[in-house]
Amino acid sequence: ISREKISDLLQSTTFDREVTVMGWVRTFRNNQFIALNDGSCMGNLQVVVDFNNTDDAILKRINTGAAIKATGQLVESLGKGQTVEVKATSVEILGDSDPEKFPLQPKKHSLEFLREIAHLRFRTNTFNAVFKLRHALAFAIHQFFNERGFVYMHTPIITASDAEGAGEMFKVTTLDLDNPPKTENGAINYAEDFFGRATNLTVSGQLEGELAAMAFGQIYTFGPTFRAENSNTTRHLAEFWMMEPEIAFADLEDNMNLAEDMLKFVIKYALENCKEELEFLNNRLLEEEKQKPQQERSELSLIEKLNFCLSNDFERITYTEAINILKASKPNQKKQFKYLIDSWGADLQSEHERYLVEKHFKKPVILTDYPKDIKSFYMRLNDDGKTVAAMDILFPGIGEIVGGSQREERLDILKERMVEMHVPQDELSWYLDTRRFGSAPHAGFGLGFERLVLFVSGMTNIRDVIAFPRFPKSAEF
Ligand code: 4AD
Ligand code: MG
C-alpha cells in the first residue's frame, strides 16, 4: 500500500502534487475540514473535502476515530494553524467509528479516564509523545552501552531463585492448584511441577548478569521484571522494565560514574531527538501547573529541569550524612514528616528522599553506604562492618530511580551474609561459583526504566508511561 506519512507532508516544501494519505480522523468540521492523524507525529494534516462532489453517505461516515484514505493535491494552506493541506479528490472509509460509541472525543480527557481505555489512549497526542519518548530512551540506553562495548545479555524471565531475597515473587506453575500433588507432610509437591521445582517470575536479572560480567567484563540486561509487592502507588508497578549493567574490576565509584554518565547521556539524547514531544509535554505541564496555587508550582519547566540535570554534578553523600541532614531538618524538627528520623539505621521513606533532593540539595543525589540490615545480601560489606557499598540515585519528583552496589566478592563474607539474611545457599550454588572461581571486585546497578520515562516526560503517574500497566487488582489488557 502506497501512502505518504503526515510527518513528511507537514515538512514538505514541494507543493501542487498528488498525494495519498491514510490515518484516523481526529475532527471533522463544517462538513469540510478533516484533521487527520496517522501517528507519525502529533500534528494533524488538514484534509479539505469537496462536499459538493462527495456522497452524503461518505460524509456521514467521516467521524472521529474512523480510518480513512484520502487522495488529492498537496497545497500551501492559507488558513490559520497549518502550513499545508490536502485538497481531497477522493475520500475512502477504511474503517468506521461509531460516534455514539467511540470513547475519545475531540476534547481534553483526564489521564484517569484514558487509563481506563488504555487500548485506545495511544491515539491521543499525550500518549503519542510519551511512547515515542519511551522508545527513544530505550534506544539511547542501547546506544550508550553499545558505544562503550557492553554486551547485551538476555537473562531469564522464569527463575528458581529470588534475586533480591525479598520474597516478592509471582509463582509460575502448571500444577492444578485446586487439587495439587502433596508431599508426605502435606505441602504442595513442586517436584511434580513443570520444571520439577518451584519457580517464579524474575524480580531482577542481576545475579545472572553477574555471571556474564565475570566472563565478558561488562554487560547489561534490559527486560521485564516482576514484583508482587504492594504496588498501589504512582511510582510502583507489578511488571516493570529494568536495565541492569554489571562491570567487572570495578568499585562503587566506577559504578556511580557509570550511572551518572548514562543518565545524562539518555536525557541529552531525548532533548536532542525528541524536540517535538518534549515541547508538547513541557506545555502540557505548564498548563497543569497553572491550575495549582502559586507556592506549589515548580520553579523550573520540564525542559529547564532536564537541562539542569545535565549541567550539574549529582550530589554524592553517605547514608549517615543524609540521616544527619534529615534529623536537623525543619520538617523533622517540626514533626511534619510522617516517619520522624530519630536514629541511625532506619530505612528512608520517599518523603525523606524527596526532602533531600527537592528541598535540601535541589538536584539529583547519590546516597551511598547504607546500613547492611536494610539492603540486599549481595552488597559488599564495608570495613566498618555496619554498612554496605550500596548506592541509590534519587531524582526530583521521582525519588529512587537507580539502585545498585559494589558486590561482595569474598566468598566467606558473602556466605555469612546469606546466613544472616536467610538466603538459601543451596539454591544459589551457581551464583557462589563466581566467588569460588576467579572472583574479582565488581559492581552494577538497576535503572527502573518507567521511572526514567516518568522523569523525562514530566508525567506524574507511572501507570501513564507503560502501555498496559500491571498493578494490584488490575491486569485487564
Ligand atoms: O532497587 P532495586 O530493587 O534493585 C535491584 O533490583 C538490583 N538487583 C539492581 C542491581 O543492582 N542490578 O530496583 C532497581 C530499580 C529501582 O531503583 C527502581 O527505579 C526500580 O528498579 N523499581 C521499580 N520500578 C517500578 N515499580 C516497582 N515496583 C519497582 N521496584 C524497583
Ligand atoms: Mg532499591
Within 148-223, residue ranges assigned H as helices are 206-216
d(CA 419, CA 436): 17
Q: Is 226 in the pocket of ligand 1 (CB under 6 A)?
A: no
CATH number of the CATH domain containing 32? 2.40.50.140
- The grid coordinates of residue 4 equal 505518504
Ligand nearest to the CA of 168: 1
Q: What's the 448 CA to ligand 1 centre distance in angstroms?
A: 5
Residue with cell 522523569: 455
Same domain for 160 and 83: no
pLDDT band at 77 (very low <50, low <70, confident <90, very high): confident
Q: Which among 233, 242, 350, 391 is the best mutation to test ligand 1's pocket, defined by most ligand atoms within 8 Å of the CB? A: 242
Same domain for 130 and 217: yes
Judge whether 366 and 256 are in contact, CB under 8 Å: yes
Q: Is 240 in the pocket of ligand 1 (CB under 6 A)?
A: yes
State residue 106's pLDDT score.
83
Q: Does residue 296 lie in a domain region? A: yes
Span 85-102, pLDDT tens digits: 999 999 999 999 999 999
Span 266-283, pLDDT tens digits: 999 999 999 999 999 999
Phi-psi region of 149 (alpha: psi -120 to 50; beta: other; left: phi over 0): left
Span 342-374, pLDDT tens digits: 999 999 998 999 999 999 999 999 999 999 999
State residue 385's pLDDT score.
97
Number of domains in the chain: 2
Q: What does the buried/exposed string (b/e) look like for 144-179 if buried means 16 or more CB atoms within 10 Å of the residue's CB?
A: bbeeeebeebebeeebebbbbbeebbeebeebeeee
Same domain for 310 and 217: yes
Same domain for 223 and 93: no
d(CA 378, CA 203): 15
Residue with cell 530505550: 138
Same domain for 214 and 72: no
Residue where a domain stops, chosen among 53, 73, 104: 104
Q: Is 237 in the pocket of ligand 1 (CB under 6 A)?
A: yes
Which residue has the CA at smallest separation from atom 1 of ligand 1? Answer: 403
Ligand nearest to the CA of 472: 1
In this predicted structure, the answer to whether residue 474 has a pLDDT above a threshold of 90 is: no
Span 8-52, pLDDT tens digits: 999 998 999 999 999 999 999 999 999 999 999 999 999 999 999
Q: Does residue 179 lie in a domain region? A: no
Mean per-residue pLDDT, 285-305: 90
State residue 456's pLDDT score.
98
Which residue has the CA at smallest separation from atom 18 of ligand 1? Answer: 448
State residue 137's pLDDT score.
98
Q: Does residue 458 lie in a domain region? A: yes
Q: Which among 204, 207, 220, 256 is the best mutation to test ligand 1's pocket, defined by most ligand atoms within 8 Å of the CB? A: 204
Same domain for 213 and 285: yes
In this predicted structure, the answer to whether residue 78 has a pLDDT above a threshold of 70 is: yes
Q: What's the 401 CA to ligand 1 centre distance in angstroms?
A: 8
- Is pTM beyond 0.80? Reply is yes
Q: What's the 377 CA to ligand 1 centre distance in angstroms?
A: 15
Bridge partners, residue 245, by sequence:
220
State residue 476's pLDDT score.
67
pLDDT band at 296 (very low <50, low <70, confident <90, very high): confident
Count CB neighbours of 263 within 10 A: 23
Lowest-confidence region among 231-240, 293-302, 333-342, 454-463:
293-302
Q: What's the 403 CA to ligand 1 centre distance in angstroms?
A: 6
Q: Does residue 341 lie in a domain region? A: no
State residue 475's pLDDT score.
66
State residue 477's pLDDT score.
63
Same domain for 51 and 152: no
3-state secondary structure of 42: coil
Same domain for 382 and 255: yes
Same domain for 100 and 212: no
CATH number of the CATH domain containing 242? 3.30.930.10
Mean per-residue pLDDT, 317-339: 96
Mean per-residue pLDDT, 237-262: 98
Q: Is 210 in the pocket of ligand 1 (CB under 6 A)?
A: no
Ligand nearest to the CA of 446: 1
Mean per-residue pLDDT, 212-220: 98
Mean per-residue pLDDT, 336-341: 94
- Report residue 346: phi and psi, to 5°: -70, 145
Q: Is 401 in the pocket of ligand 1 (CB under 6 A)?
A: yes
Q: What is the DSSP code (8-state) at residue 82?
A: -
Question: What are the angstrom distances between the C-alpha of 331 and each of 334, 339, 351?
Answer: 5, 10, 10
Same domain for 135 and 91: no
Q: Is 244 in the pocket of ligand 1 (CB under 6 A)?
A: yes
Q: Does residue 383 lie in a domain region? A: yes
Q: Does residue 118 lie in a domain region? A: no
Q: Does residue 430 lie in a domain region? A: yes
Q: Is 245 in the pocket of ligand 1 (CB under 6 A)?
A: no
CA proximity to 193, closest of 206, 179, 210, 180: 180
Same domain for 154 and 79: no
Length of the chain: 477
Question: Mean of the per-residue pLDDT values for the chain?
Answer: 95
The closest-lying atom of ligand 1 relative to the alpha carbon of residue 446 is 9
Mean per-residue pLDDT, 416-423: 95
Q: Is 353 in the pocket of ligand 1 (CB under 6 A)?
A: no
Count CB neighbours of 288 within 10 A: 12
Residue with cell 550454588: 429
Same domain for 139 and 41: no
Q: What does the buried/exposed string (b/e) look like for 181-207 if buried means 16 or more CB atoms within 10 Å of the residue's CB?
A: eeeeeeebebeebeeeebbbbbbbbbb
Judge whether 212 and 153 are in contact, CB under 8 Å: yes
Range of the domain at 162: 123-168+203-314+363-464
CA proximity to 456, closest of 392, 397, 393: 397
Q: Is the ipTM of this complex over 0.90?
A: yes
Q: What's the 447 CA to ligand 1 centre distance in angstroms?
A: 6
Q: Does residue 356 lie in a domain region? A: no
Q: Which among 201, 244, 395, 451 is the best mutation to test ligand 1's pocket, defined by most ligand atoms within 8 Å of the CB? A: 451
